[in-house]
Amino acid sequence: MSAHHDDLLNQAEYLLRAAKAAGADVAETSMSFGTSLSLQRRLGKIEETERAEGRGLSLRVFVGKQNASVSAGSIDPAAFARLAEQAVAMARVVPEDIYAEIPEAPPPIDAAFLDLDDPVEPSMEALIARAAAAENAALSVAGITNSEGASAGWSRSQSVLVTSKGFAGHYTRSNHSISATAIAGMGVGMQRDYDYSSAVHGEDLEDAETIGRRAANQAIARLNPSRPKTAKLPVVFDPRVSNSYLGSLTGAINGASIARGTSFLKDKLGAQIFAPNITIIDDPLRVRGQRSRAFDAEGQRGQKRAFIENGILTSWILDTRSANQLGLKTTGHSGGSSNLYLEPGELTPEALMADIEEGLYVTEMMGGGVNGITGDYSRGATGFMIRNGKLAEPVAEFTIAGHALSIFANLQPANDLVFKRGTNAPTIRVEGLTLAGA
């Protein structure tokens, strides 16, 4: 355990004692200390560099069944008594919440096996080199006329969670990132595109030059788009947008929404809502995962869990409060899902679209999404037409629409799953979506 963790744990215990002295029956606190480096480079010049350090805390107290939370952007033990008194005073004037509680939690496991801490802090020179390599590679591609720049960053945070019920856990997490955005064309015909890489360990970052070239080639491919005609077509979604459907799913199976009865999936637990070959997994214990964690925001241990198994919805996403509302047990998801992914299929992306005479390949979406209550779906998008199984001309200024239940039921994954984000999906194909264009 680092010195920072020792300090944070000691300060957390001190704050809990202050909360008890102020009249709290039970309390919990989280504290964190973080450092970050970042820079932005454009057309060979460094536009911005920043080094930041931050501390913060949150405190939740219970007086009977009344509870309140406070937070602060600094950790000042001299102010703990006043902060605790404020939290308790707030709790005493709010209505009782019969479902909320600070749960018992098992002792935290040793999270070292998750390998979430890269101890090597890169120098600013190293970050400059990463950004320069990405932007220079983008600018070297014929057809690129400008750059929106490249960025590189690093961060490392140390956090603790301590409750008056005896739980005390800590972890350290690091992150490295590179991104580049390239511009092709001139005037009103300009097109931009981007690429990026993010990883817990610097050695796992994708090559900066590859990122720059990919951003450039994607921008060039988007030049001179047309507006497609309105039609009902098979649609294929690139991996950088296909993961949005997993977000739509998790929003709809969030326990709070289910308890309120405001989800279009509220009656679907145990039902077949995807094809039998579809499995969607949440794995908080993935080594070097972007959202890996040994415990959630309530100290509950995480475990690998299939929310969708063989197409069947097996579980809600539950914290303690929503679990109590539904008469169930928490799934260890206070704070949301962790490393969520759609298991890959067997076909390559090329084979997945090979039989499409006319269809749509979507590379970017904006606005809208799934209506959590009705399941209706509509989003603006850009991408390419598919003709005779191959990518064809670029298209833009259109909307794709449908219903989430139909999308889920007709979703087919390719075999190109890559763990690049916190939520990941391979290329997917969906039948019967409506393209609203010209």
User: For residues 27 and 102, is the Cβ–Cβ distance under 8 A?
Assistant: yes
Portion of the chain with pLDDT greater than 70, in percent? 99
Among the listed residues 398, 369, 389, the one whose alpha carbon sits nearest the alpha carbon of residue 227: 398
- For the chain, give percent helix, strand, coil, nearest 5: 25, 40, 35
Per-residue confidence band for 2, with pLDDT thresholds at 50, 70 and 90? low
311-345 pLDDT tens trace? 999 999 999 999 999 999 999 999 999 999 999 99
The two tokens of residue 133 are 């390599």
Cα angle vertex 147, ends 144, 153, to 5°? 130
- Would you say residue 3 has pLDDT above 70? no
Element (H, E) at 85: helix 80-91
Give the Å distances, CA to CA, from 434 to 99, 240, 396, 401, 406: 42, 21, 15, 5, 12
Q: Please give the structure tokens belonging to residue 3.
A: 């010195």
- pLDDT of 249 over the 60 cut: yes
For residues 293-303, give the mean pLDDT. 93
Residue from 124, 120, 105 nearest 49 by CA: 124
pTM of the complete model: 0.94
Q: Is the pLDDT of residue 438 over 80?
A: no
